[in-house]
Structure 1
Amino acid sequence: MDIRIVMSAGVSRRACRTGFGLALSLALAAPQVASAGAVIAATKSRKAKPSAQPKRARAKTAKVVAPPLVLPPQSEPASRMIAWIAAEHDNGGLPYVVIDKQAASLLLFSGKGDFMGVTPVLLGVGIGDDSSPGIGAKDLADIGPAERTTPAGRFVAKFGRAFGRQRVIWVDYSNSVALHAVITTHKSEHRVERLLSPSPDDNRISFGCINVGTKFYTGTLTPAFQKKGGVVYILPDTKSLDDVFPRVRLLPYVSAAVAR
């Protein structure tokens, strides 16, 4: 018995200590205890009862899907090469690039053949489609201008280390041909300016390696080739496309077979 309830009923402190006072206290306090219990029960009932109003569903933010890139018009050799790779699945599921030396441009595709972007490139100052024998073992100072060619052909490329621990995409390791971000060590070469120039005529400056802009290299090319590498197709300067890639001659027949 809570003495505070008894006192609120008007019973004196002395009466509460006697049997009559106790009985009277019980009689007077009982209705109030019952009333208090009802209030507590009602309160618990209200707390337990779920809200009748449903919670508002959170609005889901729709993912914005970027539209696919549209392949810009290409030279006739580049168009044939791209069509043949797609028809033959020659890339074997790996991402790949097609480098058009005459246009000084690089086109990047995913392993599924989706076009991922185009960027200008810097190439070897020498005009030609073959690497000089033993050039990979020579010091740079011993390589003459005519030997500084970017070879044409199909190459399976992977990341690796070059001189000075620089990480590059090795296109032709034995002949020291790599694909990497543009080098700005020698300011007099104006390599960045050459990349930004609208004409491909001034894009011949390297010892044979392929240079691309740093943003494209780190943001687009590197993520594509990071896991398993890729395939690099370099179109010729002086030779015909069919001489470097004989199987491209079969493109009309392959396309006809696929269309059936």
Structure 2
Amino acid sequence: MWDRRRWLRLAAGSTAGAMLAALAPAALATETFQDLRPSEDARSLVGWVQRTGDAHGRPYAVVDKRSAHLYVFHADGRLAGHSPALLGSALGDHTVAGVGAHAQSGHVPPAERTTPAGRFEATPGENRTGEHVIWVDYESAFAIHRLRPGFAYQARSGRLATTQAAARRVSWGCVVVPVPFYQQVVQRVLGASRSVVYVLPETRTVQGFVRALEQR
């Protein structure tokens, strides 16, 4: 359960943190996906998923990289919640060979910090420190996880609070969201079972992306 008082204590002393605290109640969706006025790319992909049943009755998520935003859906297609997200600092839709080993060693070279595009069969799990994550692609250490405490917390809180999508390109490749959103939406919906995560491309069109999904 989301503890708002604890979240406010974590955010205290930071303007960015206060902005994130104000955003936190939006974690639970009270509107439809269309009400949010998503990008045309996100709208097109979600429409295709819903028409085709491509998620096969599982909950799913859509990462809109160009907007640096995450949308989470229940298995029946209802919007569970949405949030700005931190994404890989390197542009590109590919997974660099060996990036998973680098992530496990504690350092990913800047050129390898991409958030790969594609359709992923995701599973809930834990990382090497025991933190709950959604493994989007375990081999490459690509996951959805909460904003972690530490020296970069305040700076990354500020990035999440900004309206500029380009400013949210700071992660090693993972999709990083505010703690309340992770706990109340991601962990509850995607963390309950297997799910599907769609990551929209930024170097090619959504039409080509969908065609590739249809031909797999």
> Do the structures match in fold with TM over 0.5?
yes
Q: What is aligned with 2:176? A: 211
For the aligned residues, what is the CA RMSD?
2.1
Which of 1 and 2 has greater Rg?
A: 1
Greater relative contact order, per chain length (Cα 8 Å cut-off, separation 6+): 2
Letter in 1 for 2:149: T
CA distance in 1 between counterparts of 2:126 and 2:29 reads 36
- Residue 163 of structure 1 aligns to a residue whose secondary structure is coil
Q: Once the two structures are aligned, what percentage of the paired residues are identical?
A: 34
* 2:187 counterpart (210, 217, 222): 222
CA distance in 2 between counterparts of 1:202 and 1:147 reads 18
Cα shift at 1:188: 7.2
* 1:107 counterpart (61, 66, 71): 71
- Residue 95 of structure 2 aligns to a residue whose secondary structure is coil
- Residue 218 of structure 1 aligns to a residue whose secondary structure is helix
Matches within 5 A, 1:239-254: 239-246=204-211
Q: Are 1:238 and 2:203 counterparts?
A: yes
Matches within 5 A, 1:49-88: 69-71=31-33, 72-88=36-52
Shift in alpha-carbon separation, 1:144–1:150, aligned structure 2, 3 A: same
Where in structure 1 are there 5+ consecutive unaligned residues? Answer: 1-65, 251-260
- Residue 220 of structure 1 aligns to a residue whose secondary structure is helix
Cα shift at 1:186: 2.5
How many residues in Structure 1 have an aligned counterpart in Structure 2?
A: 184
* 1:93 counterpart (34, 57, 61): 57
Cα shift at 1:174: 0.5
Asked if the contact 2:29/2:81 (under 8 Å) is kept, the reply is: no
Q: Are 1:121 and 2:85 counterparts?
A: yes
Shift in alpha-carbon separation, 1:117–1:85, aligned structure 2, 3 A: same
Cα shift at 1:243: 3.3
Cα shift at 1:181: 0.4
CA distance in 2 between counterparts of 1:68 and 1:162 reads 31
Letter in 2 for 1:85: V
* TM-score, reference length from structure 1: 0.66
Asked if the contact 1:124/1:148 (under 8 Å) is kept, the reply is: yes
Shift in alpha-carbon separation, 1:132–1:118, aligned structure 2, 3 A: same
CA distance in 2 between counterparts of 1:239 and 1:82 reads 17
